Amino acid sequence: MGPFSPGFKFEDYLRAGIELLPPDAHLRANGRLFVSLTRVRDMSNVIISEWDSREDLVQTLRCACYILGASGMVPPTLRGEWFIDGGYSNRQPVVSKEALTISPYAGDADICPDEEPTRRKVSWANHTVNMSYSNTLRLYQSLMPPEPHILNQYHAQGYRDTWRYLQRMKSKLRSN
Residue 13 banded pLDDT, cuts 50, 70, 90: confident
The radius of gyration computed from the CA coordinates of the chain, to the nearest angstrom, equals 18
Domain range list for the chain: 2-88, 91-176
Per mean pLDDT, which of 5-14, 36-45, 66-75, 88-97 is the most reliable?
36-45
Evaluate if residue 34 carries a pLDDT over 70: yes
How many whole angstroms separate alpha carbon 173 and alpha carbon 176?
5
pTM to 2 decimals? 0.74
Over the stretch 79-128, which tens digit does the pLDDT of each residue have?
999 999 999 999 888 888 888 888 999 998 999 998 887 789 988 878 88
Q: Which of 59, 175, 158 is nearest to 111 (CA)?
A: 158
Mean pLDDT for the chain?
89
The pLDDT-based confidence of 131 (bands split at 50, 70, 90) is very high
How does residue 52 score in pLDDT terms, banded at 50, 70 and 90?
A: very high
